[in-house]
Homo-oligomer: A and B are copies of this chain.
Amino acid sequence: MAEGGKRLTGTVYGLGVGPGDPDLITVKGLRILEAAPVIAYPATMEGESTARAIVDTHLGNGKTELPLFIDISAGHAANAPNYDKAAAAISAHLEAGRDVAVLCEGDPFFYGSFSYLFARLAEDWPVEVVPGVSSLTACAAALGAPLAAGGDILTVLPASLDEKVLRQRMEEADGVAIIKIGRHFPKIAKVLEDAGLLANARYVERVGFADERSLPITEVKADEAPYFSMVLAHHRGEAWK
């Protein structure tokens, strides 16, 4: 399109769709989702996409869909060619004047893959990031577990970290969230005990999805925690009055 000699290009939206419950998308996010002619979303090599599934009930007809294939068994560096390819596919739509909504589970900048796309797109195109409800606060809500207040330090720890690092950081924070637990569950249970936090720790998996489940950490079986699971613990325990 041309207007006074200036080409009009599309805008790319990093659209936080929330942690799972379709109604935890924001009013703004829903409006952008409905208006965007193109929706893009991270997908496994087999084409499965959690972000796409979250908004499924909100999608009308007539959208162009652009799955962005990411190899979830590989790390971020190994996926660089996939992110390059995804950015190029998005850019082609922007170049043609079409807005693209990139669907992001939870919030785009909270442990999502959108950061890697943002780094490839932000210099060349108008990018708007629409924040979403993160799994962090959704898990706290589901567990009835305050994350932090007042002068508290709150630390988010991926479960893949080294045991010593995990323990030290747990001891130094007031509130901790241990994310992406999966196969690391036995290590996490041990570190929580070593850090004196086991009695205060609460576990939830697949928050916001139909199979969401929370249970005492002592009842989680060692090999059954999925990747989308989280433990919250606060040194204050129940003493919030």
Q: Report which of B22, B27, B114, B122 forms a contact with A24, defined as CB distance below 8 A.
A: B27
Contact A27 B28 (CB under 8 A): no
Does A10 count as interface, using CB distance less than 8 angstroms? no
Inside 8 A of A145's CB, which chain B residues have their CB? 109
A57 to chain B, nearest CB (A): 11
Partner of A153, one of B109, B141, B156: B156
CB-defined contacts of A24 to chain B, threshold 8 Å:
26-28, 131
B155 close to A155 (CB less than 8 A): yes
Looking at A112, A157, A241, the one whose CB has the most chain B CB atoms below 10 A away is: A241
- A140 proximal to B (CB < 8 A): yes
B21 touches A110 (CB 8 A): no
Partner of A111, one of B127, B136, B148: B148
Pick the residue among B16, B21, B116, B153 that contacts A157 (CB under 8 A). Answer: B153
> Which chain A residues have a beta carbon within 8 Å of chain B's beta carbons?
14, 16, 18-19, 21-28, 30-31, 75-76, 80, 83, 107-116, 118-120, 122, 127, 129-134, 136-138, 140-142, 144-158, 160-161, 165, 168-169, 172-173, 238, 240-241
